[in-house]
Amino acid sequence: MDLKELESGVNPDVHWYYQSKKVPLVDYTRKLLETIDNLTIVDVGSGSGFFALLLEREFTDRIKKVYLVDINYTSEEIAATQGKKVEKTLRIPDQIEKGLVIMMDVLEHLDDDLAMLKSIKKNAVGNDNHFFITVPAFQSLWSGHDVYLGHYRRYRIKTLRAVLENAAYHTQRCFYLYGTLFPAVWMVRKLNNLKKSEANSNMKPSGALVNGILLRYNSAEMKLAPLNKIWGITCAASGKI
């Protein structure tokens, strides 16, 4: 997850957005583990490591290794985890075998998203490596939120599939998340753009009642999200590397 979101007081362990966003990732991982033992998780652009760490907690006995890959880790953080099951590193592992590579809102931060995908592909050994990716969707939702977080672009299914295909990834599913929230978010961001609001994050802590309602609602929607090819706030893709 983006560490800048933490600066606005968002706690991913309880916030409705992250707690619902994890649902399709957990479901995908559970299906992989029906056929793969000793899965290695490679979380590229991991930040706090929220998504990879929740997978390790959920499927502890089936996860062999977790690599948290982020250029912002300190030498002290790296040294403290070296050789452990959950290891922080600055670089993608030289060899990825029986791996699930996750990139949760990462590609949009890169000037050259294709180069990153190719570098992962180059280190993937064998035919049993998989990926799960999320990116912000629809350029029409571009706002100060994107500027604040340092985004280069937003994606549609077509553009995400295209860059994955160019990197020789085999996309099995590509769909939108938070489809029912799209109209409201579109309106709010258009109004903010008209007012030329200062660049900042739209992600804020919610009161317990509102957070609980949004969590239940969006978690339920996530079960149907793989069928959503129309619109959403986030675009997700999964398949084989």
DSSP labels, 94-148: S-B-SEEEEEES-GGG-S-HHHHHHHHHHHB-SS--EEEEEEEB-GGG-SHHHHH
Query: Residue 97's pLDDT is what?
Result: 96
Q: Rounded CA gap, 99 and 112, in Å?
A: 23
Judge residue 227's burial from the number of C-beta atoms within 10 Å of its C-beta, 0-12 exposed, 13-18 middle, 19 or more buried: exposed
Tell me: the pLDDT tens digits for 186-228?
A: 999 988 888 776 666 677 788 999 999 999 999 999 999 999 9
DSSP state of 35: T
Query: Residue 4's pLDDT is what?
Result: 65
Residues 6+ apart with CB under 8 A from 159: none
Question: Which residue numbers in the chain have pLDDT < 50?
Answer: none
Residues 6+ apart with CB under 8 A from 46: 52, 68, 69, 70, 88
Query: Residue 47's pLDDT is what?
Result: 93
What secondary structure does DSSP assign to 175-231, as a single string? EEE-TTTHHHHHHHHHHHHHTTPPP--S-----HHHHHHHHHHHHHHHTTGGG--S-
Query: Residue 112's pLDDT is what?
Result: 98
Please, what are the domains in the chain?
A: 3-240 (3.40.50.150)
Query: Residue 199's pLDDT is what?
Result: 65
